[in-house]
Structure 1
Amino acid sequence: MDSTLLQFIRHLRDHELRVSTAETLDAMQVVACLGYGDRLLLRDGLASALAKSEDEQRRFRQCFAQFFDFSDDTQDDTASAADPVGGESQGDEGLAAGDGEGEGQGGAGGGGQGSEGLRADVMRAADAAQLASLQYPTQRGIYRRRLLDALNDGERRDSIARLAEGSPEERARSRWLTAQREQQLVMIAELLDRQLLLSNQSSSRSLQESLMRNSPLSALDHYYRGRLPPLIRKLAKKLAAKHRPRLRSAKRGQPDIRRTLHRSVAYDGVPFKRYWRHRRREKSDIYLLCDLSGSVGRWSQVLLLFVQALAEVLPRSRCFVFCGESIEVSDILREHPADDAVALIQQRHGLGSSDYGRALRSFRASVEGTLSRRSTVMILGDGRGNGGDSGIDALRYLYQHSRLLLWLNPEPVSRWYTGDSEIRRYQSACHHVAECGSLRQLEYLLDELLTRLP
């Protein structure tokens, strides 16, 4: 199996290009047909098998250039590509005269190869040394030694030292082998640098994503907040794939006599295939109410991005935002791209301080006619109404007329009952109150919600 190709596919996956097992087998057939000689032809061939959209084509070309950018500028001079003592055969004779060890050393040192042959030797040594496991600069010396051992560098140095003390032809052969060894050392240094860059790119990306998922949003600076939307879309895509409805044939229930008899006509009336009646479960209605005030505005933006990205599995959802009176923003989320929609909502409705009493009463008036036992209501806010009306009566109405009322609080639990927080009163009128200060917590809560929805 081609280890270089497998490393390249791992590099593609590290850069968020999905490559299946079947596509990997197709790529192996492409490499078997085209080889590694023509890089442009190889790039186009692998792109036809692995890249499935224009965006993936662009990222594939970037990854290909990063991975296969190895020492194309290092070229042998004519004098170094040929044996300086009159050709490869004369060099082999000179080595044969050197205590009978020149033949083995010629194989180790390249035996008259040009730069392509030396590069091939280095790449084979990299496979033998498992260079793909190199991750930290402190491992550089270890893997350099492994590469040199795979190239039989110790025997080559001994032969160079012995030939340097022999006849003029042997000394010329020694200088030629020394030049080849130095050229391979340069190739090894470039290969180690490239592998460190590739490993650090994938590991640093994974580390940043883990940091953004586990840290409270309030602790992330502006640099990381700007990188949140792509990560949110990635997490939402994973949730959507997990909870996408799957069509299955019913295998139990009441027999569907009409359908069974109708299909048995093709078998002379023999009911080879049996069909069953099953009830179609009604989809849940999702109502989302988000606080856009300064204290929790960024969490509401994240939740709105999640809900918009989950439109495939949450088709019957309505989104509301508030600082004072609640306002429906479902049309804005449907008509604009995710980032533009959230920025537009924040610009139009995100100014002011929270008034939970006014917001809950206006929200009740908006959904009162459509709320049913199939409805799920999610409210995101810290429950701090600045000493105003709490609107607990409207919240109790939502609790009594919905299937599930879930309150998401971005504050740590230790701060829920401090200051002007009304979350203790709101807990008595909710089915569940949960902390959602980080992306991981929010992802977990949405996963649990989608699991329980019909």
Structure 2
Amino acid sequence: MERQISNFIRALRSSDVKVSTGEALDAARTVAMIGYGDRGLLKDSLACVLAKSEAEKDVHDKLFDLYFAASNKRSSAQNEAEDREDGEGDGESGEQDAGDTAEQMIALTQPGNEQALATAVERAAEAAGLNDIRFSTQTAYYAQQMVKAMGGEALQARLLEALQRSGAEADADAQRMIDARRALTMAARERAERAFEVFGAGETEKFRDDVAATKRLTALEAHDMARMKLLIAKIAKRLAVKHSRRRKKTSRGILDVRRTMRANAGYDGVPFNVIWRQKKRDRPKIVAICDVSGSVAAYVRFLLLLLYSLKEVIPDLHAYAFSYRLGDVSDILEENEFDGAIKKILREFGLGSTSYGQAWSDFKTDHETVIDRRTTIIVLGDGRSNYGDPRLDLFSGFAGRAKQTIWLNPEGPALWGTGDSVIPRYAPYCNQMSHVATLKDLERAIDEILTTYS
């Protein structure tokens, strides 16, 4: 019983449902109180204990149905096996156990022996360690191991022996072996596929997410976009939880030992009144200035989607786009569906020869006042300005007014300063120059920025 619920919790965790040790213990106590008899009641009760959101409840309900459907078969199979062992306790079982394993395997596949086959399959699944399955490509391997555990080698030996003989009887014998092996393999594979849905599907999704997060953003194709949006939502949630918790912790302050001791002098130093030393923390304020020319546009989509998914922890967010002329795109992003907003931004600001100098001039004229001492300026661009004036005088002024200036460059460091790249000239005014090529790089950069506010 205990192993049954622990395996179910492991399946939940593999599907990205966070289950703490305390919640696992609560689940075990729930099972001890309710039992496995009423599956509907058990399902609802475990959902109350283990699922903390509607999304997690959906995952829980799906896995519960898959896992305990197999569990029903395991229980029935075990009961039948115990009944059969009780009925064979008259001393004749030793002679029967020494019988032909191949014939036993053939008998399992005959009509009317479905429960006996289920018993053999469940025992073979346990022997093969089927609960360790992680990827769909492993189903064939585990099915093969299960057939082997059920006596497949004996069946194969009988098949080879029959094939070496001649005559109608040998042919019929061989066909019986082939049919039995096919039936056993099918049963084993179906069981392996069910186990994958319970224990492996979540791991496969995590693997695919990891691949997507480390893939160059310029290499993504149209069919990758749906996964990337879901992945960005997960990243945003992870960062929001992390930095919300960090801000709550830091808002309390640190223990002021001297003031606490003085305040409790009348209690012989017993700290009834604890005094914390508060340190003012700035609320995150980000100004994102994005080059949306053709060479960088693919990266802008993901940076802006990630930033606007973090409104919970970045309440003060301003976005600007430019290729030649710069404009405020915050309203476009907030008032339109995201994909439509990006298309509109590219259409309005993505044309013309790239000019960082002109962009800084436009920002100086119309938007400079948005920068204050708590502002982080994020520049996303390759720093290639078609040999125009980079207007370092303006950029240095923006950086001097801000809390920090972070430049995210899709080009690798080996290309900085080559051709019309003026990145090395901007570098002295930046707190950090980072190469960002993947979603993982963007996550790391935003995480580091948010950390400076907590």
Q: Given the two structures, how large is their TM-score scaled by the length of structure 1?
A: 0.73
Distance in 2, matches of 1:90 and 1:226, equals: 56
Displacement of 1:138 after TM fit?
5.8
Partner of 1:144: 146
Displacement of 1:54 after TM fit?
3.1
Partner of 2:20: 20
8 Å CA contact 2:289–2:319 kept in 1: the answer is: yes
Partner of 2:292: 292
Distance in 2, matches of 1:342 and 1:145, equals: 54
Amino acid at match of 2:448: E
8 Å CA contact 1:294–1:353 kept in 2: the answer is: no
Which stretch of structure 1 is more off in the superposition, 287-296 or 115-124?
Answer: 115-124
Q: Deviations over 1:67-101 (max 9, x none)?
A: 45549999x9xxxx9xxxxx9899749x7457x54
8 Å CA contact 1:71–1:190 kept in 2: the answer is: no
Q: Which aligned pairs between 1:182-201 and structure 2 lie closer than 5 A?
A: 187-196=187-196, 198=198, 201=201
Report whether the alignment pairs 1:431 with 2:431. Answer: yes
Distance in 2, matches of 1:48 and 1:71, equals: 21
Distance in 2, matches of 1:391 and 1:299, equals: 24
Distance in 1, matches of 2:305 and 2:85, equals: 70
Partner of 2:412: 412
Report whether the alignment pairs 1:450 with 2:453. Answer: no
| Distance change >3 Å, CA 186–CA 209, structure 1 → 2 | closer
Partner of 2:310: 310
Q: Deviations over 1:88-138 (max 9, x none)?
A: 899749x7457x545999xx99xxx98668646754653454221235246
Displacement of 1:378 after TM fit?
1.1
Partner of 1:202: 202
Distance in 2, matches of 1:35 and 1:124, equals: 23
Amino acid at match of 1:11: A
| Distance change >3 Å, CA 342–CA 116, structure 1 → 2 | farther
Displacement of 1:408 after TM fit?
0.8
| Distance change >3 Å, CA 319–CA 183, structure 1 → 2 | same
| Distance change >3 Å, CA 12–CA 97, structure 1 → 2 | closer
Distance in 2, matches of 1:328 and 1:37, equals: 62
Report whether the alignment pairs 1:382 with 2:386. Answer: no
Give 5+ residue unaligned stretches, structure 1: 82-86, 155-179
8 Å CA contact 1:254–1:277 kept in 2: the answer is: no
8 Å CA contact 1:13–1:19 kept in 2: the answer is: yes
Aligned length: 410
Report whether the alignment pairs 1:250 with 2:259. Answer: no
Partner of 2:109: none
Displacement of 1:251 after TM fit?
0.9
Displacement of 1:216 after TM fit?
1.4
Partner of 2:214: 214
Q: Deviations over 1:146-173 (max 9, x none)?
A: 7438xx999xxxxxxxxxxxxxxxxxxx
| Distance change >3 Å, CA 90–CA 393, structure 1 → 2 | closer
Partner of 1:55: 55
| Distance change >3 Å, CA 345–CA 8, structure 1 → 2 | farther
Displacement of 1:204 after TM fit?
3.2
Distance in 2, matches of 1:24 and 1:186, equals: 35
Partner of 2:163: none
Report whether the alignment pairs 1:240 with 2:244. Answer: no
Amino acid at match of 1:447: D
Q: Which aligned pairs between 1:53-452 and structure 2 lie closer than 5 A?
A: 53-68=53-68, 70=70, 92=88, 96-97=91-92, 101-102=95-96, 119=118, 122-123=121-122, 126-127=125-126, 129-134=128-133, 135=135, 136-137=138-139, 139-140=141-142, 143-144=145-146, 147-148=149-150, 187-196=187-196, 198=198, 201-244=201-244, 245-247=247-249, 248-252=252-256, 255=259, 260=263, 272-334=272-334, 342=342, 345-346=345-346, 349-452=349-452
8 Å CA contact 1:292–1:323 kept in 2: the answer is: yes
Partner SS state of residue 233, structure 2: helix
8 Å CA contact 1:254–1:276 kept in 2: the answer is: no
Partner SS state of residue 227, structure 1: helix
Q: Given the two structures, how large is their TM-score scaled by the length of structure 2?
A: 0.73
Give 5+ residue unaligned stretches, structure 2: 106-111, 155-179
Partner SS state of residue 398, structure 1: helix
Distance in 1, matches of 2:86 and 2:437, equals: 75
Displacement of 1:194 after TM fit?
2.5
Larger helix proportion of the pair? 2
Distance in 2, matches of 1:442 and 1:257, equals: 46
Q: Deviations over 1:8-38 (max 9, x none)?
A: 3333333333333333233334444554455
Distance in 2, matches of 1:2 and 1:123, equals: 18
CA RMSD of the aligned region, Å? 4.5
Distance in 1, matches of 2:85 and 2:231, equals: 61
| Distance change >3 Å, CA 121–CA 251, structure 1 → 2 | farther
Displacement of 1:302 after TM fit?
0.9
Displacement of 1:304 after TM fit?
0.9
Displacement of 1:218 after TM fit?
1.1
8 Å CA contact 1:256–1:277 kept in 2: the answer is: no
Distance in 1, matches of 2:353 and 2:203, equals: 41
Distance in 2, matches of 1:55 and 1:246, equals: 26
| Distance change >3 Å, CA 90–CA 349, structure 1 → 2 | closer
| Distance change >3 Å, CA 383–CA 8, structure 1 → 2 | same
| Distance change >3 Å, CA 255–CA 316, structure 1 → 2 | farther
Displacement of 1:362 after TM fit?
1.8
Partner SS state of residue 248, structure 2: coil
Displacement of 1:42 after TM fit?
4.1
Identity %: 34
8 Å CA contact 1:290–1:321 kept in 2: the answer is: yes
Displacement of 1:50 after TM fit?
2.7
8 Å CA contact 2:378–2:406 kept in 1: the answer is: yes
Distance in 2, matches of 1:139 and 1:383, equals: 52
| Distance change >3 Å, CA 26–CA 339, structure 1 → 2 | farther
| Distance change >3 Å, CA 448–CA 249, structure 1 → 2 | closer
Distance in 1, matches of 2:130 and 2:411, equals: 46
Distance in 1, matches of 2:47 and 2:204, equals: 26
Distance in 2, matches of 1:275 and 1:193, equals: 59
Amino acid at match of 2:317: S
Distance in 2, matches of 1:56 and 1:437, equals: 31
